[in-house]
Amino acid sequence: MIPSSVDYTRASSVGEAIRLLAENPDAKLLAGGHSLIPAMKLRLNSPALLIDIARIAELRFIEDTGNAIVIGAASTHADIITNPHLKGLTAMIEAGELIGDTQVRNMGTLGGSIAHADPSADWPAVLLALEAQIKVQGAEGERIIPAAEFFTGFFSTALDTGEIVTEIHLPKPAAGSASAYRKFMQPASRFAIVGCAASVSVEGGVISAANVAFTGVSDAAFLDEGVASALIGKPATLENIEAAASAAAEGDMHINEDHFASQAYRKHLAKVYAKRALAGACGL
């Protein structure tokens, strides 16, 4: 289909983008466009104005600040895959490599993906597992939102009207910590039918801390505390990982169902991919 008529402007700074958003309540931000443009073609989204922020230099960078790796929101998936600062955050590299194809990875952005909050997108689960902090800016100033509070539901986030994601802060992993991302993907779109990110700290062969997060399973990415808590204090063995993974996606929660996977199949996949992600993070 053909999108509705739309005006276009390019912002030269974050401040200008915020001002344009305030002046145009029906406007949408355009970064990579790989979520917004398809929605516009289907007329699921018909903004009056597109504000292009893809070329704002202050939004595209990756730097090591000592305690954290800070990623500008307009950094592309390809930027993340190839940046040496992120080598210690394996889940970021693995997730980025599994997104779309070369064209999508070269254009799509981290900030755009998490602001869109597709329930099958890869980055939300990874940011949850890595305990990321998300910096946003609006007319009232800047604030930091923990990833655990950012993804609030189906295509919804904690962003207020007029706010822009500007930075993603990832704590640098401590000694003995590692992460991994595994997913069962829809072969055409490469979105996750089920994706699992795991971050694990091991001391003396025993798991001292763990985060396990899913995408594709429910209406938003989430941390599975049942799996993580079952691992704490246990030796990092495949047997213990398999036992903990058996608790994945259990309890009183919504499970997605569509023509790709039933609820029962998604729950089964959650257990399988939790085991694979945890084994990868533990080097097993």
pLDDT in tens, the chain (284 residues): 687 899 999 999 999 999 999 999 999 999 998 888 888 888 888 899 999 999 999 999 999 999 999 999 999 999 999 999 999 999 999 999 999 999 999 999 999 999 999 999 999 999 999 999 999 999 999 999 999 999 999 999 999 999 999 999 999 999 999 999 999 999 999 999 999 999 999 999 999 999 999 999 999 999 999 999 999 999 999 999 999 999 999 988 999 999 999 999 999 999 999 999 999 999 99
Q: Alpha-carbon distance 124 to 60, whole Å?
A: 19
The Cβ of residue 254 has, within 10 Å, a number of other Cβ atoms equal to 13
Question: How high is the pLDDT of residue 150?
Answer: 98
Q: CA separation (Å) from 23 to 48, 51, 139, 226?
A: 12, 12, 11, 45
Query: What's the CATH class of domain 57-171?
Result: alpha beta
* Terminal Cα distance for the chain, rounded: 48
Residue partners of 163: CB distance under 8 A and separation at least 6: 136, 137, 138
The CATH superfamily of 177-282 is: CO dehydrogenase flavoprotein, C-terminal domain (3.30.390.50)
Q: Alpha-carbon distance 53 to 36, whole Å?
A: 13
Biggest alpha carbon–alpha carbon distance for the chain: 61
| Token pair of 53 as six digits | 């922020």
Question: How high is the pLDDT of residue 45?
Answer: 87
Q: Residues of CATH 3.30.465.10 domain(s) within the chain?
A: 57-171
Q: Residues of CATH 3.30.390.50 domain(s) within the chain?
A: 177-282
Question: How high is the pLDDT of residue 1?
Answer: 66
Q: Residues of CATH 3.30.43.10 domain(s) within the chain?
A: 7-52
Query: What's the CATH class of domain 7-52?
Result: alpha beta
